[in-house]
């Protein structure tokens, strides 16, 4: 890309402002308003010797992604229901109406339950939002394309002294060092579903049942597994035997499968084929119903 094709800093600011216009003002106020790529540089280092150590682990909403939950509950040896009851609370996205879990911070101190004076007690399994900090990540879907484009931005909170440290990173190196790139890969279906639903706007409603399925898919693979295997799901949809075996045992595979199916429920993206016999049964019921409500003879 030539120099005249690259975006100026001013253009990046304007573009980021447009893309993040739905963010709460208290969040936008701590964002350095320049859109970043993986190759952009920033300075940052956090360590126990810094005066602000642990300050960023309180009084903040941390969304728990599906892969966050899988890693954390494995770490703590808890079922999904046990973890959600103890450490999370449901919340609705401000645009798009889909429910997501947040870490349930201490009601008095606002402190994360996994935070201690020594640092994070679940550090090697910490959520992806914590891994990214002080970088923020977002997906954007342009109107002319169904593909999601990822971009980044810098978060600069007034108390944070890490930005004054000499250590320099590219965004890509930071993501790799913190392990957030692997999390993003596993969370892709969840993130794309949220993005596509947000793009539809508030004029398009989401049914209670669909919202519950979305929350279940993102928080409770055991429950979604029961939904698939203990219902008529496999009689209605064609699922390859190797996929069926995988989702029966692996929570990550179950979660990714769930969001592929939900794309069809929410947006009509039929990634799973309906079995011919199930489709014939639906058509027969529709035909029978139309006969029952149709005009009577001689009318």
Lowest mean pLDDT among 17-21, 24-28, 151-155: 24-28
Judge if 256 and 109 occupy the same domain.
no
Distance CA 53, CA 101 (A): 26
pLDDT value at position 264? 87
Q: Determine, yes or no, domain membership for 283.
A: no
Statement to judge: residues 174 and 224 lie in one domain: no
DSSP state of 91: E
Task: Share the mean pLDDT of the chain.
Answer: 83
Could you tell me if 99 and 209 are in contact, meaning their C-beta atoms sit under 8 angstroms apart? no
Q: How confident is the model at residue 127 (pLDDT cuts 50, 70, 90)?
A: very high
What CA–CA distance (Å, rounded) separates 195 from 148? 8
pTM: 0.81
Total number of domains constituting the chain: 2
pLDDT at residue 32 in the model: 64
In a domain? residue 286: no
Residue at a domain's end among 161, 187, 213: 187
Q: State the Cα–Cα distance between residues 91 and 205, nearest whole angstrom.
A: 17
Q: Tell me if 291 is assigned to some domain.
A: no
Q: Are residues 167 and 205 in the same domain?
A: no
Per cent of the chain over pLDDT 70 is 77
Q: Tens digit of pLDDT for each residue in 138-174?
A: 766 554 455 667 789 899 888 999 999 999 999 999 9
Mean of the pLDDT values across residues 189-207?
78
Residue finishing a domain among 154, 187, 220: 187
pLDDT per position as a tens digit, 72-109 = 999 999 999 999 999 999 998 766 578 999 999 999 99
- Residue 274's SS3 state is strand
- Print the domain residue range for 227: 199-277
231, containing H or E segment: none
Give yes or no for a contact between 191 and 139, defined as CB atoms under 8 angstroms apart: yes
């Amino acid at each position: 890309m030539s120099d005249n094709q690259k975006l100026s800093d001013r253009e990046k600011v304007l573009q980021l402002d447009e893309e993040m216009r739905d963010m709460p003002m208290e969040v936008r106020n701590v964002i350095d308003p320049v859109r970043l790529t993986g190759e952009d540089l920033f300075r940052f280092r956090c360590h126990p010797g810094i005066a602000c150590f642990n300050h960023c682990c309180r009084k903040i909403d941390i969304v728990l992604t599906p892969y966050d939950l899988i890693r954390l509950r494995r770490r703590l040896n808890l079922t999904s229901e046990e973890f959600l009851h103890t450490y999370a609370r449901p919340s609705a996205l401000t645009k798009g109406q889909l429910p997501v879990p947040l870490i349930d911070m201490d009601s008095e101190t606002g402190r994360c339950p996994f935070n201690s004076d020594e640092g994070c007690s679940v550090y090697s399994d910490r959520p992806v939002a914590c891994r990214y900090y002080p970088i923020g990540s977002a997906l954007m879907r342009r109107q002319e394309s169904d593909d999601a484009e990822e971009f980044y931005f810098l978060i600069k909170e007034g108390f944070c002294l890490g930005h004054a440290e000499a250590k320099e990173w590219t965004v890509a190196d930071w993501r790799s060092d913190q392990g957030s790139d692997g999390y993003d890969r596993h969370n892709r279906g969840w993130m794309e579903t949220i993005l596509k639903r947000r793009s539809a706007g508030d004029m398009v409603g989401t049914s209670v049942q669909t919202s519950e399925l979305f929350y279940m898919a993102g928080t409770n693979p055991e429950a979604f597994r029961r939904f698939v295997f203990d219902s008529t799901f496999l009689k209605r949809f064609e699922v390859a035997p190797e996929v069926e075996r995988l989702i029966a045992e692996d929570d990550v595979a179950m979660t990714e499968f769930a969001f592929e199916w939900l794309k069809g429920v929410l947006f009509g993206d039929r990634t799973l084929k309906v079995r011919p016999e199930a489709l014939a049964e639906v058509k027969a019921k529709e035909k029978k119903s139309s006969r029952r409500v149709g005009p009577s003879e001689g009318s």
